[in-house]
Amino acid sequence: MNRQEGIQEIDIEELDSQANTYTIKCMTFTAFAFFIVWLLNTLDVFIVDKTVMTIVFLATSAVMLLPGAICWFTGTRKSWVKYMIMLAVGIGTTIIGSILTFHAVLLFALPLFYAAQYSDRRMIYYAYGMTVISLFVSVMVGYYYGLCDANMLLLSAHPASYYADLHTGEVYIDQINPNPWVTVPLFFVLPRSIILLLFVPVIRNISDNIAHNAVRTAQLQQLGETDKTTSCYNKNKYAQMIREVYPQVEHVAVIFWDINHLKEINDTYGHVHGDYVISSIADCIYELASERRKAYRVGGDEFIMVIENPEAHEAEQVIAACNEKVAVKSSLSRLPLSVAVGCAYGTGRQIQELVQMADEQMYQTKKAMHAAEQNC
């Protein structure tokens, strides 16, 4: 896997994690909004049966708040979290729709809009299928146990003038819905499901655009943080990490490399060969980098690696491994490849001092190597 592919995968995972977090916040807000509705109903501002409203409020709030409680312990990055959250949204919508019936018709579009945030377009189809089931359950339960929707009960299909006497104002409806298990799904579930289906292509396109833009943003950010010649992080990223991140890390190790004889190589063979030497050394360093070990090019021939919470002698092990790689490359090259290196351990709060200590140790190593070469 190359660096850009890795960044893209990490970004997609992070995108879904952010969507999970935002959806949980929205669900919490939904529970709070329902609390306001319940309170206004208790104060007789609304006229829904108080017992019915209390049952719906408690059940919906429990369902909407449960994913947040679970994610408090598990985090939001696991792949199953988004399905759990969307299932909770579907169950909450079903509860509200089953009891409050016609008051909650618009609520059935909510799962689709939540699903648009996710990078996986299957979430949209998952949300749609769940919503169709929710519509069926809520319409049928609502017919028998929810707030009475007279249109379902009487199955009216004409304007008011059809049923009302124009002179007396009296309404004449002489037949109750004879077969609700056929007519209610046919006239109420099916049309609403078709209307919601019209949202799917648009929402899918929105979801694709969100994922594409997020990946593009991550790629642009990566380009802004990466040295083009070496693929190591550049000085801008280094300065940001030194300023904002490393002072918060408990323990760090700093390794400072400087390429030997780069000026002589540039003067003798030209900068193309000098770039080859830089790239070769950078490859040796970059191969040893990881999320916990970040490598930076901080100068023309200077590289720094900062290891977060290093294991015992980890910096020395990295240096030895790098020296071996450089030696192998040097044996296969017409140009001499070698580096001077220094390292230092300490706390994150000391990061500036540690960099200076590693630099000084590197300089002493370089002087010793130069003296040894002179003696030869």
pLDDT in tens, 132-187: 999 999 999 988 888 877 778 877 777 777 777 777 777 776 667 788 899 889 98
The stretch 344-351 carries a mean pLDDT of 95
258 bridge partner residues: 302, 340
Q: How confident is the model at residue 225 (pLDDT cuts 50, 70, 90)?
A: confident
Q: What is the pLDDT of residue 5?
A: 39
Label residue 28 by pLDDT band (50, 70, 90).
very high
The structure's pTM equals 0.60
Distance of CA 1 to the CA centre of its chain: 21
Using pLDDT thresholds of 50, 70 and 90, give the confidence band for residue 36. very high
Q: Residue 219: is its pLDDT beyond 60?
A: yes
What pLDDT, on a 0 to 100 scale, did the predictor assign at position 174? 67
DSSP string, 9-71: HHHHHHHHHHHHHHHHHHHHHHHHHHHHHHHHHHTTSS-S-HHHHHHHHHHHHHHHHHHHHHH
Q: Which residue has the higher pLDDT, 98 or 149?
A: 98
Mean of per-residue pLDDT scores for the chain: 87
The span from the CA of 364 to the CA of 167, in Å, is 108
If one compares 218 and 245, the residue with the highest pLDDT of the two is 245
**Chain segment 69-82, per-residue pLDDT in tens:** 999 999 998 989 99
Beta carbons of 156 and 174 less than 8 angstroms apart: no
- Range scoring the smallest mean pLDDT among 61-70, 119-128, 250-259, 286-295: 119-128
Q: What are phi and psi of 13, to 5 degrees?
A: -65, -45
Mean pLDDT of 242-262: 94
Query: Which domains does the chain show, CATH number per domain?
Result: 3-222 (no CATH), 235-375 (3.30.70.270)
Q: How confident is the model at residue 4 (pLDDT cuts 50, 70, 90)?
A: very low
